[in-house]
Structure 1
Amino acid sequence: MKYPRLFTITISAWGMALLPVYAKTDNLTFNGFGSIVATNVLSSDNNASFEEYYLRGGCPCYITDYYTGGLINEDDGMSLRYESRIGLQLGVRMTDELTFTSQVVARSLTNEFTLEWAYLTYQINDEWSVQAGRKRIPLYYFSTFQDVGIAYTWVRPPQSLYGWEASNYNGLNISYAGNMGDTSIQASVYAGNETIRDAAYNSLYTDDPSIIDDSRWKNIVGFDVELTYEWLNARFIYLTSDNSATDKASGDYEFYQPFSQQRVMGLAINGDFSDWFFHLEKVRTGEKTKKTTLW
C-alpha cells in the first residue's frame, strides 16, 4: 500500500559500488557484491501532507529505503548507516537440468543478513524453465537486482518508485528466453505469497516504534515481458495481489479482512547508444477503484 509522499528536499549522497567477487567450480558458483553509501540531508521544506503521513522521525527527513524503514533526519549529518550493504550469492548445480540459487543481503541499517533468494530451477529446454522457492518480485526494471549497486548508474533506484513494503515472494515462476527473428524475448509468469512480520515499511507510519504492524501480500499473480531489438529495450509488467496488515495499536494482531486488491501495471523503455543511454519508466498502481501514476 502506497501513501502520499510529496515534499521538497535536497540531499547529498556519495556511493561506491564494490567490485563483485566471483568464484566457480564445476558444480558451485559464489558471488559477492556490496556498496558503501554516505547520505546527508542538506535542507527540506516541511508541508502538511508530509507531516500527516510521516509520524516518526522528527522531520525534515528523507526516506532512503521503504523496505527497511530507512529514514534519515537533517540532524543526523553525514552517515554510512542507511544505504550501505553487502550481498552473497551461492549457486549449486545438482544435475544438468536442476540448480539451486541462494542470496543473502546484509544492510548497515539492520546489521543482519536476510534471505532474499532461495529457489530451485529446472531447465526444461533451452528456452523454458521453472523456478520454485523464494525470489524477488520482478515488479520494475531494476527490482530483481536493485541491491547490486554496480548494475545501475544511480546510488540506488528512486524510492518513489522502487520503495515497497514487500520485495520478495514465495511461490512458483515459469520463464521463457528466446528469439523471434532479430528480437530477443524474455518473459515470466509467477504466483505466490509474502508475509512480513514487523514490517519496517510500517514503522515509517507510526508514532510508537515499539509497535510495528505486520504486512501480507496474498495471491500474488503477475507477469513480465521484455523485448530487445538492437539499441532498443522495452519491458511491460503486470501484478495483482490481495494486501492486508495488522493493527497492533488497537490490540488486533490478525490481518484485516477483506484484503485490499492491489493492481500494478508498468512500462520501461531503454535505449543504449554505447556512449549515451536513456531509461524511462511509467507505472500505474493502486486499487481497482483508485489509481496512482508514478514516473
Structure 2
Amino acid sequence: MSNFKICFLLVIIMVYSSHAHAHAHAYSDSQVVADGLAIDLMETLDLTFQVIPEYDETENVLAGWNGDEFQYFVAFSKLPAGWLNAEKWISGFIRDIHAASETGSYNLLDKGNYKSNGKFDLNYIEISFIPKGEQETRKQLVHFITDHKNSYLAFATPTSDNGANVLQSEVISILKTSHLPTSNIIPLVIKNEDKYIGIWNGQYVDKDDKVVQVIFELKADLTFARKDSIEGKQDSVNSGGFFISNNKISWTYLYGKPTNQESRTKETNTISSFSGDTMILILDNSNIEIVLKKES
C-alpha cells in the first residue's frame, strides 16, 4: 500500500508566510524523522524540522529554505512490517498516481538508487502529474528507504519554482545522511493517527430509514478499506487514504465497487468522541452520527 495521505496532500498549493521561519535557523544536529530513522540537518543547507500548519497542525516535516523563501518540505512515514521490497511498493504507488491524475499527465522524470552513510538503501522516483480536476502540473520526489528490517517513505514536495529546481539535489544530499537513531537525538513525536489504527464496526440509519452497517479498517500506512452493507446486503467497498487533524478525519477515495468516484472522492467526518475502543463520528454532509467499536 502507498502512503495516500501524502499523495493526497501534495496537491495542496502551499501559501506559507515568512514569519514562520523568522525564529528558526539551520541545524547541525541529528533529528529522528520516523520511528527508527534519523537524518543529519546539515549546516550547508537551511533546514528546519517544524509544523507547517497548511500541511498538518501536529506533524513535523523537514522544511527547506532560502532565506525567508519556503522552498520545499519532506514528510516521512514508517511502513508496516513486511514492506521491504522497493520495486513492489513503487509500482503500486505509480498505479495509484495514475488513478488520481488526469489521463496522460503522469511523467516519470527520473529514478535511481543509492546507499546512505548509515547503510540504508534508498530508491527514488521523481514524477510530475496533474491531479484530477485540476490544470496545474505538480512535481514530487518520492523515496523508499530501507535497512531490510524496516522501511520508510520520504515525500518531497516543492513549494516554489526555486524549490522545484533544487529539490532533487538537496533532498538526496539530506537523505544520504540517513542512519539509525542514537540515544542523544531528539525523539519522534507520535503520529496523530496512531491511536486510531485498527478495525472499527458501527451502524447508522440512513435518510431512507435503512440500517447501514459500516466496517472501517484504518491502517498504519494511512490507507483505509471500507465496506458498507444496507439491511444486511453488501452495498459498496471502497479504499483510499486518510489523515486526522483537529478531531476530523479526512478521507480520499481512490477505488470503489461499484465505481462511484464522481459521487464520492473526498469526505470529512468529525470525531465527536474517542475513548480508545469507542469512536463516534458525525458525517458532516448529513449530521448522521455513527458509533464505532474497535475490534480487539
Q: Same fold (TM over 0.5)?
A: no
Into which bin does the TM-score normalised by the smaller protein fall?
under 0.3
Instruction: Report the structure, 1 or 2, having the larger strand content.
Output: 1
* TM-score normalised to structure 2 length: 0.22
TM-score (norm 1): 0.22
